[in-house]
Copies of this chain bind each other. A is one copy, B any other.
Protein backbone atom coordinates (compact mmCIF):
# COMPACT_ATOMS: atom_id res chain seq x y z
CA UNK A 1 0.00 0.00 0.00
CA UNK A 2 2.89 2.28 -0.66
CA UNK A 3 4.76 1.42 -3.84
CA UNK A 4 1.75 1.85 -6.03
CA UNK A 5 3.29 4.14 -8.57
CA UNK A 6 0.69 6.85 -8.27
CA UNK A 7 3.19 9.52 -7.45
CA UNK A 8 3.91 10.34 -3.88
CA UNK A 9 1.19 12.01 -1.94
CA UNK A 10 3.61 14.25 -0.11
CA UNK A 11 2.24 17.30 -1.76
CA UNK A 12 -1.31 16.57 -0.72
CA UNK A 13 -0.23 15.88 2.84
CA UNK A 14 1.68 19.13 2.95
CA UNK A 15 -1.39 20.98 1.79
CA UNK A 16 -3.54 19.33 4.41
CA UNK A 17 -1.04 19.96 7.19
CA UNK A 18 -0.62 23.56 6.14
CA UNK A 19 -4.35 24.06 6.11
CA UNK A 20 -4.78 22.55 9.56
CA UNK A 21 -2.01 24.67 11.01
CA UNK A 22 -3.35 27.82 9.44
CA UNK A 23 -6.78 27.14 10.89
CA UNK A 24 -5.52 26.18 14.33
CA UNK A 25 -6.64 22.59 13.82
CA UNK A 26 -4.70 19.53 14.80
CA UNK A 27 -2.82 16.99 12.79
CA UNK A 28 -4.11 13.51 13.55
CA UNK A 29 -3.43 9.99 12.36
CA UNK A 30 -7.05 9.61 11.31
CA UNK A 31 -6.94 12.61 9.02
CA UNK A 32 -3.73 11.46 7.39
CA UNK A 33 -4.99 7.95 6.90
CA UNK A 34 -8.29 9.14 5.47
CA UNK A 35 -6.44 11.34 3.01
CA UNK A 36 -4.24 8.40 1.98
CA UNK A 37 -7.14 6.08 1.33
CA UNK A 38 -9.11 8.80 -0.40
CA UNK A 39 -6.25 9.42 -2.79
CA UNK A 40 -5.49 5.76 -3.48
CA UNK A 41 -9.09 4.96 -4.23
CA UNK A 42 -11.49 5.10 -7.13
CA UNK A 43 -13.05 8.40 -7.97
CA UNK A 44 -16.51 9.59 -7.00
CA UNK A 45 -16.62 7.98 -3.60
CA UNK A 46 -19.30 8.66 -1.00
CA UNK A 47 -18.56 9.13 2.69
CA UNK A 48 -20.10 5.75 3.36
CA UNK A 49 -18.04 3.98 0.77
CA UNK A 50 -14.84 5.62 1.90
CA UNK A 51 -15.58 4.71 5.48
CA UNK A 52 -16.19 1.07 4.48
CA UNK A 53 -12.84 0.95 2.71
CA UNK A 54 -10.98 2.55 5.59
CA UNK A 55 -12.53 0.15 8.08
CA UNK A 56 -10.74 -2.70 6.37
CA UNK A 57 -7.37 -1.32 7.35
CA UNK A 58 -8.44 0.35 10.57
CA UNK A 59 -11.81 -0.68 12.01
CA UNK A 60 -11.65 1.87 14.75
CA UNK A 61 -12.10 4.93 12.56
CA UNK A 62 -15.64 6.21 12.87
CA UNK A 63 -17.93 7.41 10.16
CA UNK A 64 -18.15 10.87 11.68
CA UNK A 65 -14.45 11.34 11.34
CA UNK A 66 -14.49 10.31 7.70
CA UNK A 67 -17.43 12.59 7.09
CA UNK A 68 -15.81 15.54 8.79
CA UNK A 69 -12.45 14.95 7.17
CA UNK A 70 -14.01 14.91 3.70
CA UNK A 71 -15.35 18.33 4.51
CA UNK A 72 -11.90 19.52 5.47
CA UNK A 73 -10.36 18.04 2.33
CA UNK A 74 -12.96 19.88 0.30
CA UNK A 75 -12.23 23.13 2.10
CA UNK A 76 -8.53 22.94 1.42
CA UNK A 77 -8.93 22.08 -2.25
CA UNK A 78 -7.85 18.45 -2.12
CA UNK A 79 -11.34 17.10 -2.77
CA UNK A 80 -14.33 18.26 -4.72
CA UNK A 81 -17.92 17.35 -4.04
CA UNK A 82 -19.96 16.04 -6.94
CA UNK A 83 -23.54 14.93 -7.11
CA UNK A 84 -25.00 12.46 -9.52
CA UNK A 85 -28.61 12.71 -8.48
CA UNK A 86 -28.56 9.50 -6.46
CA UNK A 87 -29.27 11.29 -3.23
CA UNK A 88 -25.81 11.35 -1.76
CA UNK A 89 -22.73 13.45 -2.06
CA UNK A 90 -19.68 12.00 -3.71
CA UNK A 91 -16.12 13.23 -3.62
CA UNK A 92 -13.35 13.19 -6.15
CA UNK A 93 -9.75 14.21 -6.11
CA UNK A 94 -9.42 17.90 -6.94
CA UNK A 95 -5.71 18.71 -6.88
CA UNK A 96 -4.22 18.86 -10.34
CA UNK A 97 -7.58 17.91 -11.75
CA UNK A 98 -9.58 20.68 -13.29
CA UNK A 99 -13.31 20.95 -13.48
CA UNK A 100 -14.94 18.58 -15.88
CA UNK A 101 -18.39 17.38 -16.86
CA UNK A 102 -19.88 13.97 -16.19
CA UNK A 103 -21.81 11.64 -18.44
CA UNK A 104 -24.00 9.57 -16.12
CA UNK A 105 -25.79 6.46 -17.34
CA UNK A 106 -29.29 6.42 -15.86
CA UNK A 107 -29.47 2.69 -16.38
CA UNK A 108 -26.27 1.24 -14.94
CA UNK A 109 -24.83 4.23 -13.11
CA UNK A 110 -21.58 4.26 -15.01
CA UNK A 111 -19.97 7.65 -15.20
CA UNK A 112 -17.55 9.12 -17.65
CA UNK A 113 -15.77 12.41 -17.50
CA UNK A 114 -15.28 14.93 -20.23
CA UNK A 115 -13.42 18.19 -20.67
CA UNK A 116 -15.40 21.41 -20.71
CA UNK A 117 -12.87 24.01 -21.75
CA UNK A 118 -15.04 25.46 -24.49
CA UNK A 119 -18.14 25.27 -22.33
CA UNK A 120 -16.34 27.06 -19.53
CA UNK A 121 -15.59 29.86 -21.91
CA UNK A 122 -19.29 30.20 -22.69
CA UNK A 123 -20.11 30.21 -19.00
CA UNK A 124 -17.67 33.01 -18.32
CA UNK A 125 -18.99 35.00 -21.22
CA UNK A 126 -22.61 34.62 -20.20
CA UNK A 127 -21.91 35.35 -16.55
CA UNK A 128 -19.96 38.48 -17.27
CA UNK A 129 -22.76 39.74 -19.47
CA UNK A 130 -25.22 39.75 -16.57
CA UNK A 131 -22.81 40.88 -13.87
CA UNK A 132 -22.53 37.49 -12.19
CA UNK A 133 -19.18 36.32 -10.86
CA UNK A 134 -18.87 32.57 -11.41
CA UNK A 135 -16.92 30.64 -8.78
CA UNK A 136 -17.77 27.07 -9.66
CA UNK A 137 -20.12 25.05 -11.78
CA UNK A 138 -21.56 21.63 -12.32
CA UNK A 139 -22.44 20.04 -15.61
CA UNK A 140 -24.05 16.64 -15.57
CA UNK A 141 -25.41 14.89 -18.59
CA UNK A 142 -27.84 12.04 -18.01
CA UNK A 143 -28.42 9.41 -20.66
CA UNK A 144 -27.48 5.91 -21.75
CA UNK A 145 -23.96 4.62 -22.03
CA UNK A 146 -22.84 2.60 -25.00
CA UNK A 147 -23.65 -0.73 -23.38
CA UNK A 148 -27.09 0.28 -22.14
CA UNK A 149 -28.54 1.74 -25.31
Interface residues of A (CB under 8 A from B): 83, 85, 101, 103, 105-106, 112, 114, 116, 118-119, 122-123, 126-127, 130-146, 149
* B139 engages A143 (CB within 8 Å): no
- What is the distance, in angstroms, from A67's C-beta to the closest C-beta of chain B? 15
What residues of chain B lie closer than 8 Å to A130, measured between beta carbons? 103, 112, 114, 146
Contact yes or no, A132 B112, CB < 8 A: yes
| Copies of chain A in the complex | 2
- The answer to whether B127 and A143 touch across the interface, beta carbons within 8 angstroms, is yes
Question: 28 A-B pairs, CB-CB below 8 angstroms?
Answer: A101-B123, A101-B126, A103-B130, A103-B132, A103-B134, A105-B132, A112-B130, A114-B126, A116-B122, A119-B119, A119-B123, A123-B139, A130-B146, A131-B145, A131-B146, A132-B143, A132-B144, A133-B144, A134-B141, A134-B142, A135-B142, A136-B141, A136-B143, A137-B139, A137-B140, A138-B138, A138-B140, A138-B142
Chain B residues near A139 (CB-CB < 8 A):
123, 137-139
